[in-house]
Amino acid sequence: MARFDGLTAVVTGSAQGLGQVFAVALASSGARVAGFDMADQGSTAALIGPSFEPFTVDVTDPDQVLRAVAAVGEAQILVNNAGIYPPIPFEETSVADLRRILRVNVEGPFLVTQALLPCLRRAGWGRIVNIASAAVFAGPPDIVAYTASKAALIGLTRSLATLLGPENITVNTIAPGLTRTDTAARSTGADGGFERVAATQRVPRVAEPSDLVSTLLYVCDPGSAFLTGQTINVDGGAAFL
């Protein structure tokens, strides 16, 4: 029996990158997966098959989120992965830029969690996983607004863990280091960013999306009922240098 047989997981940002890898991993372990994304999810559907159901959702739109959650029906696992990563110099970051980043990276997880919470309560337990970033601990100077948004997500995790712990619903954060995805490559890969970051790690190689899968499955597991409010850095050891 697979560890997530009979369970449903909602994964946001599931069309590509980490979200796609997470959706595939959960489905491969037995879960039915509902993918929320604004982009076409055909490639994710092709990888997973009939246990994947795509929903076209803007996670910052409350009405779209509520409709999608209603269509999903029941769920026990939520992975808030959708996010944006614009490397805008601090001095050039407009208020509109900041608000856009905060809307996707903080307001999105807030809205999806709020909408899905009745499902988790009906199930009598749940796992909420927020995908932040090890940038919160490294403090890189070129992504100030992004780093601030991910720090807010960690705060959301801790408060929700306190709120929901008595209901057997755990809330944790995974904070990846710079990971080789198409989005990261467009933002940092062209100028050797992957290699510069890898050189700061105790494990001196570029992180791949697959490096995050075992941590995700661990925090989502029904058996991980005593782990909550935590931020797990999966960054090759860079955060404690």
Residue among 235, 228, 83 nearest 157 (CA): 228
Known catalytic membership, residue 85: no
Tokens representing 233?
A: 């850095």
Query: How far is Cα 108 from Cα 112, in angstroms, rounded to an integer?
Result: 6
3-class secondary structure, 5: coil
Between the alpha carbon of residue 132 and those of residues 25, 34, 67, the distances in Å are 19, 21, 26
Q: Taking each helix axis from N to C terminus, what angle separates 108-123 and 62-72, rounded to the nearest 10 degrees?
A: 30
> Judging by DSSP bridges, how do beta strands 169-176 and 126-131 pair with one another?
parallel
What phi and psi, each to the nearest 5 degrees, are found at residue 213? -65, -45
Catalytic residue, chosen from 52, 55, 137, 146, is: 146
| Cβ–Cβ under 8 Å, residues 202 and 237 | yes
DSSP 16: S
Three-state DSSP at 35 gives: strand
Q: Could you tell me which residues come within 8 angstroms of residue 81 by beta carbon, excluding any fewer than 6 positions away?
A: 11, 12, 13, 14, 18, 19, 22, 131
Tell me which residues are annotated as active site: 146
